Amino acid sequence: MNAIDAYDDNILLAAKVVRVEIICQQKDLVIQVSDWGKGITKEQRSHIFEPFYTTKGPAGLGIGLAVIKDFVETDFEGHISFTSSSWRGTRFTVRLPFRDLSSH
């Protein structure tokens, strides 16, 4: 939903493209979610994973990305990052290490 919300309100829903890629690498599973919306400003970037930080006003709780970051890093020992620009949109990358389950 954040990727859809990243587009200007005057763009039709059908034109709000979100690309999800799942890539299996040797030691990691990589999930990338990309949009071509307005991007994340430099001022917002340092706060993006803070609990209760939102740019959506009363419509947003600001807990989504904070919860995802906690799940990815604590529960899955992974990493989440993003790149963003006002002219190319935003890409979030989640990197989850494969676990050896043979000992369980």
pLDDT 10s digits, 48-94 = 998 887 777 777 777 789 999 999 999 999 999 999 988 788 999 99
Compute the distance between CA of residue 92 and CA of residue 32 in angstroms, rounded to an integer.
Answer: 6
Compute the distance between CA of residue 83 and CA of residue 57 in angstroms, rounded to an integer.
Answer: 23
Residue 33's nearest CA partner among 102, 97, 90, 78 is: 90
Q: Which residues contact 23 (CB under 8 A, 6 or more apart)?
A: 29, 30, 31, 32
Question: Residue 102 has what pLDDT?
Answer: 65
Tokens of 77: 């020992």
Query: In Å, how far from its chain's centre is CA 10?
Result: 23
